[in-house]
Amino acid sequence: MIAKADLQTLSVDRLSDAQVLFQAGRFSSAYYLSGYSVELAIKACIAGVFQANAIPDKAFVNAVYSHKLDELLGIAGLKTKLAEDMRDDAALSVGWGIASKWREDSRYKLWDQFAAESIINSIADEKHGVLQWLKRHW
C-alpha cells in the first residue's frame, strides 16, 4: 500500500530527477521519469477517490494499476475538468498533448534532447504545466 502523500512526494521527486538527468545529457531517462511523475500525480488524485470503511470495486482497483495517463485521468474523475481548463488555457492544452503521449514502454526507446525538453517543460511549467494542474486536484 502506498499513501497519497507518498505518491505526491514521489511525483515531484521524479520530475526533479528528470531535470537533473536532462542537465546531464541523459535525455531518454529524463523523458521516461518526467512522464512517470505525471502517472504518480494522477494516482495521488485517484487516492483521494477511495472511501474509508468501504471495499472498492475490484475492477476499479485493477484499473488503478494501469500506466495509461488518459485512462488514469478518467479513473480520477478529472477528464472533463481538464478538457474545460484546456479550453481556457492553450498552454495547458499543448502541455497535456505532449505529456499524454508518454507510455510505460517509453523506457525502451531512445529520446533526443528536443523530446525530453518538450515533455519536461510541458509538465514542469509553473503556470501552465501538467503537474501544476494536477497538484490543484490532489
The distance in angstroms from the start CA to the end CA of the chain is 18
Supply the pLDDT for residue 52: 83
Pick from 127, 119, 131: nearest CA to 32: 119
Gap between the Cα atoms of 27 and 90, Å rounded:
26
86: amino acid identity, one letter:
M
Gap between the Cα atoms of 45 and 72, Å rounded:
9
Supply the pLDDT for residue 79: 97
Unique residue bearing C-alpha cell 471495499 = 55
pTM of the model: 0.94
The whole-number mean pLDDT for each consecutive block of 10 residues of the chain, a chain of 138 residues, reads 95 98 98 98 94 87 92 97 98 98 96 98 98 97
Half-sphere exposure of 136 (CA within 13 A, CB side): 11
Supply the pLDDT for residue 135: 98
> How is the chain split into domains, by residue range?
4-135
Supply the pLDDT for residue 49: 86
